[in-house]
Amino acid sequence: MTGKFISIEGVEGAGKSTQLAFIQRYLSEQGKQLVVTREPGGTELGEQIRTLLLTPTTTGMASDTELLLMFAARAEHVEQVIKPALERDDWVLSDRFVDATFAYQGGGRGIDLQRISTLSDWTLKGLQTDVTFLFDLPVEIGQQRVLSRNEGIDRFEQEKVDFFQRIRELYLQRAQQEPNRIKVIDASKSIVEIELQLTVLLDKLLTN
């Protein structure tokens, strides 16, 4: 398989959607056939699960239910979208993937990381991203950005600052453990500075 699998991660408001558009444009200009997708979601069934997970009127969901729904959506996503794309030698760019589960359900909700690893092994069967761009910034800045966007907030965005602090820490911990795969981007920099950093990282991936 010659296509690469890229995911982007970060706390809310880190600028993932903004930079996803840049990465998509850059790789298309380099002639790459690219599948752009997201989690939770990316398939018809997965998008229905996403609605269940994100709708702010879903109250009192147990953490284990949340975890299992994330993996149910992911199992479908991997089988229907990601694997077929990589088998066609396409590139895949996913707005979030399994690192988000370790960060949100592990760090945020406090679920045992070993349990998440077990589900991950079962669902992914060895599939992992070639590179993950982790957009890191102080939680408060991300929250201000989300608020100034003036859109509604989802079920996760209702959580308090310390929930997102734990998520940020877990993401950074994973980046420390896997520095070759997870590249930390300082998301407090300007959009242009971030694009420059991404260009260098993408060029390396393109020549590998």
Residues that bind ligand Z5A (CB under 6 A): 10, 12-18, 39-40, 70, 95-96, 100-101, 104-105, 145-146, 149, 156-157, 190-191, 194
Is the Cβ of residue 145 or residue 181 nearer to ligand Z5A in the bound state?
145
Instruction: Classify 168 as helix, strand or coil.
Output: helix
Is the Cβ of residue 173 or residue 206 nearer to ligand Z5A in the bound state?
173
Is the Cβ of residue 63 or residue 176 nearer to ligand Z5A in the bound state?
63
For the bound state, the minimum distance from the C-beta of residue 37 to ligand Z5A, rounded and expressed in Å, comes to 11
Instruction: Classify 180 as helix, strand or coil.
Output: coil
**What is the rounded CA–CA span in Å between residue 32 and residue 1?**
14
Give how far the C-alpha of residue 50 lies from the chain's centroid of Cα atoms, to the nearest Å. Answer: 14
Give, as one character, the DSSP assignment of residue 189.
S
**Which residues are 46's β-sheet partners?**
none
**Number of Cα atoms under 13 Å in the Cβ half of residue 41:** 13
For the bound state, the minimum distance from the C-beta of residue 51 to ligand Z5A, rounded and expressed in Å, comes to 11
Is the Cβ of residue 16 or residue 166 nearer to ligand Z5A in the bound state?
16
For the bound state, the minimum distance from the C-beta of residue 191 to ligand Z5A, rounded and expressed in Å, comes to 5
